[in-house]
Structure 1
Amino acid sequence: MQEDMSDTLINLPSLTNLIKSIVKESVSADKQDLTGKTWNIDEFRKYCCRGKGDNWVRTFIFDEFPEVDYKNGGFVVNPR
């Protein structure tokens, strides 16, 4: 059974626009330039991987998800 959008309690386009405007305001209020901000592997594993070992991070994050490599559009420069 396909649900008609007019029968929903939440107006999804309005909600989407509201969320986008809140995010846009938050980002422009912050105005942080992240150019040149880097973490080494120890900082990354501490803050993002619950302290897993560097080999674990390389194997299960960098190798498992090649899209994180900067060459593939990701955020990791030289994952090895």
Structure 2
Amino acid sequence: MPVVNMLEAKTRLSQLVAAVEDGSESEIIIARNGKPAAKLVPMDAKEKHVRKLGQFEGMFPSMTLEEFDADNDEIAKMFYGE
């Protein structure tokens, strides 16, 4: 995460935008008088995180809905103090 000053950001804006667009930099901090003032990030920064469906398949024992719900009354007693 590089930090660039305002003057450098003004002169190299196209290069900085290209760096975050192509992924070579995840974000760039722009500083004014040595203090961080802004962050340059790609528009689709949140969309890059891909969730793989079924990634835990086979890691846990399978059970029916009835087996899953079997302890509901006991758990409710623990929460509500009955």
Q: Same fold (TM over 0.5)?
A: no
Question: Structure 1-normalised TM-score?
Answer: 0.31
Say which structure is richer in strand.
2
Report the structure, 1 or 2, having the larger helix content. Answer: 1
Larger radius of gyration: 2
Question: TM-score scaled by structure 2?
Answer: 0.30
Q: Which has the higher contact order (CA 8 A, sep 6+)?
A: 2
